[in-house]
Structures are given as structure tokens and as C-alpha cells.
Amino acid sequence: MLSSKSTQSSLFIGGLDIGGTKMAAIVADRSGPLARVVEPTAKTGTEYAPAEQALRLLKDACAKAGVPFEELDTVGVSSCGPFIRQQGKIRLAAPNICGGIARRGELPNDWMSVPLEEVLRRHFVQVVIRNDCVAALTAERAFGNLQGVDDCAYVTWSTGIGFGLCVDGHLLHGKNGNAGHAGHMLMTDQSSAQCGCGNYGDVEALVSGYNLEARCDRPPAELFDAARAGDPQGRAVIAEAAKWFGRALFNVTAALDIERFVIGGAIWHHHGEWLEPMVMSELCTRLPALTNGVSLSSPGLDSLVTDIGALHLVMPEDWPNEWRARKPWQQLQES
Ligand SMILES: [Zn+2]
């Protein structure tokens, strides 16, 4: 939620969650989320395709909720990054969406970046765009497991790796809103694992779901099932990934004096309990002055953390207290 926002008079707010795999749109009023629609993220056509899809999904969500689209003038966006700015407006330069950046040659476009803010601003009075992990962090601080924790981070362990960072109660943004891209921290030059950004041996290259699949030639779900059933090769791969992930958390703790990490993303969602001791043994066996008492937890908002984060970016100031009391997102989770 932004202190500078001026949406007090809005009856409805929209949220967009833009990922490399899927895009979701959600419409809410003071009572809570009203409708949510989701589709695979558009990656063909012109570079305007993702923003046009975002508008269409917001229209669909409005239709589903029975809300006139014209009454929606405020949208919060939680998006994969990084971002770049052109004429002051945010464009997504995300390797998982823009085929011109990715080294893999597997995306059906040659985009280097996609216009997002420019298109949304043509339709909405207020648009707030944040990195998805930053949006998730704000949601967990408002409604989830980071309430009252001033030095904290939200981390996703999924197809990619990302961080949202908060120090002394202040969210970190950076010059282009890219603070927290610690998934691209370089860890080793002894690895042939390559990240979508082009780096070899960065955190994302070493541990992301995409990379585990590429290295082991089987989907992460199968790899984890085999490892958990005792398959020695699978176990070795996962232990190695957990080591790098734990080391990344240590590095972030050393840099920022973090007290608590909330970890989301599909891999942690399904296997966090099993991974936690391996990660903690890498994180908390060094420099006790920095690491004593550092804890890990899963998102209190579960799989809706980035969607609720998008809404929270533009939510009128008097809504969160009511939402905290009533937890209206739970209905959406159940449907
Ligand atoms: Zn990278």
C-alpha cells in the first residue's frame, strides 16, 4: 500500500499478477476480492500483446464480478522483472517473457522489452507497478506472516528465484524498481548451469525449477518424488540446490541483517518442509552474530500472495484493517 495513493473514492480496484507462465487479473471492492481470471501469459504477436492481454483479463474479471469496467480507474500490478524505463514509463525486460533476451531461443518472439505502464496509463487514472516479490512482501507484511517484522524478505523458489526486501521497515525499490533481483547473484564460475539472464552459476541457474528440469531431464515434481523416495542421484541434486539456496539466504542476511524470510513459489510450496533443514544448515551455521534467530516460514496468503500484493499496492488506507479481520481472500482460495 502506498501512502501517496489517492484512491479513497474508488469503489473498485484491480490487480494484475504477471508471471512468465501465467497472468491473473482480480477485481476487488472494500468487502474483498470479487472475481479472478487467469490465462497463460501471451508471448506471440507484437510487444503490446501482454499489456493488451492484461486489459482484456481485467475486463473479463469485471464482467465475472458484475462490475462495469469503466468504473475501474485504479490498478496495482505485481510483475516478474526486471523493469526498464522508457520516457519514465516501466517496461518489462523479463527473460521469461521476452524472447529477444533469453538465450534459449525457445520463446516465440524477439521482444527485448514489453510496454506495460504506457498501455495501462491510457486506461487507468492510477497505476502502481512493482516486482512480484516486492508486492508479495507488502501482502505478507499487511496480512500474512511478516506482520510486525521490520527486517524481512519474501523469496520465491519456483521456475525462477526472486527476492523482495525490507530493512528497518522500509521496502527497498532501487533505481528502476529492481531491488531484490538477488536470484542473479553470482555464486560460482565452476558451473555450466545457465540462467535465462545469460549468467552461468548464478542462484537461479543453480536452483530454479527450470534449471533442475534442464539438468536432470525430468520435471521438478518427478525429481523431488524420486529424491524423497531415496533415489541417490535425485537426493544429491536436491541437496546441492538446497545448499546454494541456503547460501543465497545467508548472503542476503549478511548484507541486510534479515530476521525472517517468507518463502513462496511452487518448489517451496510442495517441498519446503523437507527442504528447510537443508537450507537452515547452510544459513544458520555461520556467523551467529548475524544468523542467530533467523527464521523461515511459508506465505500466510498461500498461493494468492502476489495477487493480494497487487491489490494492496493500490488499496485505500482504510481497507487493510477490515481485510485483516475478515481474511476475505480465503473465499477466493476455496473457489
Ligand atoms: Zn540470472
Of the chain, the percentage scoring pLDDT greater than 90 comes to: 84
Alpha-helical regions (H) of 155-265: 203-207, 209-216, 220-228, 232-256
Q: Residue 7 above 80 pLDDT?
A: no
How close is the Cα of 188 to the center of ligand 1, in Å? Answer: 12
How close is the Cα of 200 to the center of ligand 1, in Å? Answer: 8
How close is the Cα of 16 to the center of ligand 1, in Å? Answer: 24
Q: What is the pLDDT of residue 5?
A: 44
Q: Would you tell me how many other CB atoms lie within 10 Å of the CB of residue 273?
A: 9
When pLDDT is cut at 50, 70 and 90, the band that residue 128 belongs to is very high
How close is the Cα of 256 to the center of ligand 1, in Å? Answer: 21
Q: What is the pLDDT of residue 104?
A: 62
Which of the pair, 171 or 20, is modelled with greater confidence? Answer: 171
How close is the Cα of 29 to the center of ligand 1, in Å? Answer: 38
When pLDDT is cut at 50, 70 and 90, the band that residue 4 belongs to is very low
pLDDT digits (tens, 9 = 90+) for 38-93: 999 999 999 999 999 999 999 999 999 999 999 999 999 999 999 999 999 999 99
How close is the Cα of 96 to the center of ligand 1, in Å? Answer: 11
Which of the pair, 5 or 316, is modelled with greater confidence? Answer: 316
How close is the Cα of 107 to the center of ligand 1, in Å? Answer: 17
How close is the Cα of 132 to the center of ligand 1, in Å? Answer: 16
How close is the Cα of 8 to the center of ligand 1, in Å? Answer: 39
- Return d(Cα 297, Cα 153) in angstroms, integer: 11
How close is the Cα of 332 to the center of ligand 1, in Å? Answer: 33
Q: Residue 15 above 80 pLDDT?
A: yes
Q: What is the pLDDT of residue 309?
A: 98
Asked whether 22 and 38 are in contact (CB, 8 A), the reply is yes
How close is the Cα of 147 to the center of ligand 1, in Å? Answer: 30
- Return d(Cα 146, Cα 137) in angstroms, integer: 8
Q: What CATH code is assigned to 147-297?
A: 3.30.420.40
CATH topology of domain 13-135+302-334: Nucleotidyltransferase; domain 5 (3.30.420)
How close is the Cα of 27 to the center of ligand 1, in Å? Answer: 33
Q: What is the pLDDT of residue 103?
A: 60
Report the sign of the C-alpha dihedral through residues 331, 14, 310, 109, in that order: positive
How much is the average pLDDT of 120-139? 97
Residue ranges, comma separated, of all CATH 3.30.420.40 domains in the chain are: 13-135+302-334, 147-297
How close is the Cα of 84 to the center of ligand 1, in Å? Answer: 16
pLDDT digits (tens, 9 = 90+) for 219-251: 999 999 999 999 999 999 999 999 999 999 999
How close is the Cα of 202 to the center of ligand 1, in Å? Answer: 6
Q: What is the pLDDT of residue 2?
A: 46
How close is the Cα of 14 to the center of ligand 1, in Å? Answer: 31
How close is the Cα of 41 to the center of ligand 1, in Å? Answer: 21
Alpha-helical regions (H) of the chain: 49-65, 117-123, 132-143, 203-207, 209-216, 220-228, 232-256, 266-283, 288-291, 305-312, 319-326, 329-334
pLDDT averaged over every residue in the chain? 93
How close is the Cα of 198 to the center of ligand 1, in Å? Answer: 6
How close is the Cα of 95 to the center of ligand 1, in Å? Answer: 9
How close is the Cα of 197 to the center of ligand 1, in Å? Answer: 4
How close is the Cα of 101 to the center of ligand 1, in Å? Answer: 12
Q: Residue 6 above 80 pLDDT?
A: no
pLDDT digits (tens, 9 = 90+) for 147-175: 999 999 999 999 889 999 999 999 999 99
Asked whether 180 and 166 are in contact (CB, 8 A), the reply is no
Q: Maximum Cα–Cα distance for the chain, whole Å? A: 59
How close is the Cα of 162 to the center of ligand 1, in Å? Answer: 10
- Return d(Cα 210, Cα 33) in angstroms, integer: 31
pLDDT digits (tens, 9 = 90+) for 252-309: 999 999 999 999 999 999 999 999 999 999 999 999 999 999 999 999 999 999 999 9
Using a 10 angstrom Cβ sphere, with 0-12 exposed, 13-18 middle and 19 or more buried, the burial of residue 84 is: middle
pLDDT digits (tens, 9 = 90+) for 173-211: 999 999 999 999 999 989 988 888 888 999 999 999 888
How close is the Cα of 292 to the center of ligand 1, in Å? Answer: 29
How close is the Cα of 181 to the center of ligand 1, in Å? Answer: 9
How close is the Cα of 195 to the center of ligand 1, in Å? Answer: 5
The contacts of residue 236 (CB under 8 Å, 6+ apart) are: none
Report the sign of the C-alpha dihedral through residues 182, 187, 297, 305, in that order: positive
